[in-house]
Structure 1
Amino acid sequence: MAGSIKISSPSHFTELLAGSKLVIAQFYSENSVPSQQVADVFEQMSGAFSRPKLVAFVKIDTEQQKDVAQAYRVTSVPTFIIFRNGKLADRVQGSDPQKLQSVLNKLSEEVENISKGKSGEASGSGSGSGSASTGPNWKGAALPRGYTDVTDQIEVRHCELLNVDPDVGSVRVLFDTAKPSALSGGKSTAAKDWVESDTDEQLLLFMPFQSALKLHTLQITSIPPSGDDDEDDEDEDDVPLRPRTIKLFTNKPHNLGFDEAEDLSATQEIEISEDDWNADGTANIPLRFVKFQNITSLVLFVVDGDGDGEKTRLDRLRLIGEAGEKREMGKLEKIGDEPGE
């Protein structure tokens, strides 16, 4: 099998991203001892799993290809970035050969599926960056024309959700690509795949991203129990509500406190009306695009619920827009073309 490919220009890398379903990129430096420590492992795996036009292992010298490194925010070497269908899917930093071996081994099944013409969607790379779990790619609402679902750019393991009921789901379920169990008809015995607030109706969710994003739309799915559900004989205060007022804050380095979120001026404050929810319990919320152009993190503050109860519920969240690295690589192609003009 073919080995790794050394990237010679920004346009070279762009062509490889467009021409392969799965790209594993090693950002390295010839003078870096940590880069040398994992070089053999990377070459062994590239020799075993490279597939022309399907799976590519590439090496990017950060000294020679500074524009590419800058576009993907590579600040230390070695850094390994995994791309699926041209989109950044995962990132591994550091020179631990065992960690890299583990990540690449878990990719091997995906590689084999791609080679056999299967869907090749892996359950996760195992690096722990926490991209949303895969499954049937359920959508609560149609995507705006010209934009894509960029939820997979969320660093799930670094997300933080405050005031969440510990007896319901964890923050990870919000980004699950599977259809919410509440829409499956009938009551499920599976783990609860939604989140609810705990002591009052407020929630604070911090979401950092793997790369800078342009955000166009926020899709929130909330499916409170219907009036026919009398499970646990819940009183009105315990029945969760849909969110009504939310505040969004951008580019915060960490989560806010509730008092801080109450007092701060939001990037955008949104009132969700009853008419905004579709039949699948999803509100399609357009964002003020000019204010969401270069976003590295998002804080979502659920201020109150749509009613008199003391709990709010979220089943799914989707971020719709453009991944920042795609925009940057478009600029890099022009840079790469300049010498030949």
Structure 2
Amino acid sequence: MAPHGRCCEGDHQHRDTPEMGIEYSLYTKINKDNLECLNEAVEGSGKTVFKPWEERMNFDLFVDSDADEELLFNIPFTGNVKLKGIIIIGEDSDTHPSKIRMFKNRPSMTFDDVGATADQEFQLHVDNQGTLEYATKIVTFNSVHHLTLHFPSNFGAETTRIYYIGLRGEYSEAHHHGVTICTYEARPNVSDHKNPLEDTVGHQIQ
């Protein structure tokens, strides 16, 4: 059993439908240019584990940890996410991560910051097929614009390997409306202007 949440072995074990591809499409909402993976053995390899559901078994793409077994992902989204579940695929070996710690809306975390209390954490089971989903606390992860995933340990190997990280949930666009500032008090009387058309009521801040 997975503490602090629900590990769904039944509902997701035999499901490999188009709906799963839609449910696990949050990878398309990640700002890949600013995604960071700390302690990755090959630069840029951490980004490759966020891929389509249909490619989750593509074991040509993976991330290995470098100096030790820890991995830390800083994942910025292009909008707001309601995160409902996560799937981790690793090897059927000791390199599979044994624990995940999740932090909400704390950009640019480093290994110096992971001593903080996580918003949620799970003890992981070895899963090399993507059959186990770990259900997040939706109330906690209701409005996520940045997600940090810390993998502090594995099942005994010197390094950790991950093939796929699937994120299930809902996405909404970030609102970037311009703010209209109306300077009523500071606006001179029209009679003070030679040309009233030059008077500006407000302007937009983008």
Q: Is the TM-score greater than 0.5?
A: yes
Deviation of the 1:253 alpha carbon: 2.5
Report Cα offsets for 1:68-90 as digits up to 9, x if no partner.
xxxxxxxxxxxxxxxxxxxxxxx
Residue 213 (structure 1) aligned with residue 88 (structure 2): no
Uncovered stretches (5+) of structure 2, i.e. residues with no partner: 1-13, 176-206
Q: Residue 42 of structure 2 is aligned with which of 166, 170, 188?
A: 166
Q: Is the 8 A contact 1:175 1:318 kept in 2?
A: yes
1:311 equivalent among 159, 163, 172: 159
Q: Report whether the alignment pairs 1:266 with 2:118.
A: yes
Q: Is the 8 A contact 1:208 1:297 kept in 2?
A: yes
With a CA cutoff of 8 Å and minimum separation of 6, indicate the structure with the bigger relative contact order. Answer: 2
> Retained in 2: the 8 A contact 1:198–1:311?
yes
Moved >3 Å (runs of 4+):
140-144, 179-182
1:249 aligns with 2:103: yes
Indicate if the aligned counterparts of 1:224 and 1:313 stay in contact, CA closer than 8 A: no
Kindly indicate whether the alpha-carbon contact (under 8 Å) linking 2:99 and 2:121 is maintained by their aligned counterparts in 1: yes
Determine what percentage of the aligned residue pairs are the same residue.
27
Check whether the contact 1:214–1:292 (CA below 8 A) recurs between aligned residues: yes
* Superposition deviation, residue 218 in structure 1: 0.8
**Contact 1:223–1:281 under 8 Å retained in 2:** no
Instruction: Give the C-alpha shift of residue 310 in structure 1.
Output: 1.0
TM-score for the superposition, normalised by structure 1? 0.42
Q: Which amino acid aligns with 2:110?
A: G
Cα drift, residue 269 of structure 1: 1.2
Q: Please tell me the residue identity of whatever aligns with 1:284.
A: E
1:171 Cα shift?
Answer: 2.1
CA drift at 1:283:
3.2
Between the aligned partners of 1:153 and 1:309, the Cα distance in structure 2 is 32
CA-CA distance at 1:147 after TM superposition = 4.9
Q: What aligned pairs does 1:1-341 form with structure 2 within 5 A after superposition?
A: 147=23, 149-166=25-42, 170-177=45-52, 178-182=55-59, 192-224=60-92, 241-254=95-108, 256-261=109-114, 263-274=115-126, 277=127, 280-306=129-155, 308-325=156-173
Cα displacement (A) at 1:281: 4.7
Structure 1 residue 164: Cα displacement: 0.8
Higher strand share: 2
Aligned residues: 158
- The answer to whether the 8 Å contact 2:120/2:137 transfers is yes
Larger helix proportion, structure 1 or 2? 1
